[in-house]
Structure 1
């Protein structure tokens, strides 16, 4: 059940976020966009709990979303960003083995919200990491990397410090950016849910919490029926290198990110290059 009015209102908040130079205002608009999406999600859950017609027409669906082209480096950080946004909007996500696409499971309105947020934030993530690399702030830093040492029976893994390369700096920056965005959106979602539960009449019997729990169970059961995924996806590998400095910079950028859906930069929906 697509709600175009909701998407229009969210898009308006996103444009307001991008139109201010005040970080606190941008944060408020971003939180408002997520809270609006959460409020709509709660309304749908309650409607489904009390109206058989709504329950029959609004059901979980799957949607495949392209992340980037096969063979490009850095797709995992794009996937990580999508997954973080999806979690804040009640989605379960499967990831292709080469990270070129994801399959999201959930209600259509939640899928629409996630895509709108992702389209804006992936652009900001790329722009912020580009600026970080151009600043040269990563130079002189190191990254911890797991390597194999020794020969034959004496081979073992060890942690070594290496100069921080541009690609490792970018990957760490973008991974931390995605994590920070996930925390911000989930905080806004949790606040909206708590307010909705607190605002219930005493005689309601906790219907909001029950409806949300039922929705969670329905998405989970739908996922178990519909998904054919195997294994566990991980956003990063110890072999790719870990940089505290780059992650700290990415975290700061994620905390300042403004949500907006009307900007477009060349290649922003593709993978990163070295």
Structure 2
């Protein structure tokens, strides 16, 4: 199957995931999209090892992914979502301290899949967090915060309980959502690769070669320094985290009767 046809199929599943109000259906369509993407990546990796010297061999590339404009709120959780997707699709990333731009390193097809999944899941994450905030359940929760006051010419820190702010609830919800999505996609990837190895022995070795090639490319191309800490939420909201995890978890992977079972191999 060509790269264009593969992306068209994935895009169709993602549009179905976005258009349904049923979280179980949305999760099932998402799982199908990830299985298709992983299967395509496996077959493309196998095909690359059999390329003749006359063929143009695919090599890793670097691509700039714009998460948002500087100063826009919520970019940290948006970036966290992309990084979770990338980790499940053989793409390594560097990110700016402002969380505005991600530098993605990987094979073209894998990065294309990440962008398609991110576009769909970002819509779902924002929609789900908006619905949660409208429910107002986070307002019943309080958190301990440190308040700094001046007394007698010196600063005094006291810990007080305050209601959870809306922005805190949103960040906690979206962070938990992104983390759960990353877990689900990683599980789908592992299942597909295991099935591919069972049906086509040697696939694991091919994938290992692909991993090493990408690692070498990243080491020689990346100029990143330090570690990104943007996914840390300063104030915790247990209610928002649980709600975000539920939204990210939704239904069991691949459980929808509307979808065909994942194919072990795709046509080239």
Category of TM-score, reference length = shorter chain: 0.7 to 0.9
Instruction: Please show how residues 19-98 of structure 1 align to structure 2 within 5 Å.
Output: 20=20, 22-53=22-53, 56-98=56-98
| CA displacement at 1:72 relative to structure 2 | 1.9
Q: What is residue 207 of structure 2 aligned with on the other side?
A: 212
The two structures have a TM-score, normalised by structure 1, of 0.81
Q: Distance in 1 between the 2:166 and 2:223 partners?
A: 36
Contact 1:92 1:106 in 2 (8 A): yes
Unaligned runs of 5+ in 2: 252-268
Q: What is residue 223 of structure 2 aligned with on the other side?
A: 228
Deviations 1:150-174 (A, max 9, x none): 99xxx99998653211111110000
Q: What is residue 188 of structure 2 aligned with on the other side?
A: 188
Q: What is residue 271 of structure 1 aligned with on the other side?
A: none
Q: Distance in 2 between the 1:146 and 1:102 partners?
A: 33
**Residues 135, 23 of structure 1: alpha-carbon distance in 2 compared, 3 angstrom cutoff:** closer
Instruction: Please show how residues 230-245 of structure 1 align to structure 2 within 5 Å.
Output: 230-237=225-232, 240-245=234-239
Unaligned runs of 5+ in 1: 201-205, 258-274
* Other structure's SS at 1:70 match: coil
Q: Distance in 1 between the 2:73 and 2:244 partners?
A: 18
Q: Distance in 2 between the 1:103 and 1:158 partners?
A: 42
Q: What is residue 129 of structure 1 aligned with on the other side?
A: 129
Q: Distance in 2 between the 1:181 and 1:17 partners?
A: 14
Q: Distance in 1 between the 2:198 and 2:117 partners?
A: 27
Q: Distance in 1 between the 2:61 and 2:89 partners?
A: 14
Q: Distance in 1 between the 2:157 and 2:206 partners?
A: 49
Contact 1:48 1:55 in 2 (8 A): no
Contact 2:15 2:120 in 1 (8 A): no
**Residues 218, 148 of structure 1: alpha-carbon distance in 2 compared, 3 angstrom cutoff:** farther
* Other structure's SS at 2:105 match: strand
Contact 2:66 2:101 in 1 (8 A): yes
**Residues 245, 22 of structure 1: alpha-carbon distance in 2 compared, 3 angstrom cutoff:** closer
Residue 99 (structure 1) aligned with residue 99 (structure 2): yes
**Residues 66, 20 of structure 1: alpha-carbon distance in 2 compared, 3 angstrom cutoff:** closer
| CA displacement at 1:105 relative to structure 2 | 0.4
The two structures have a TM-score, normalised by structure 2, of 0.83
Q: Distance in 1 between the 2:150 and 2:213 partners?
A: 51
Deviations 1:233-255 (A, max 9, x none): 124336x2111111001111112
Contact 1:61 1:107 in 2 (8 A): yes
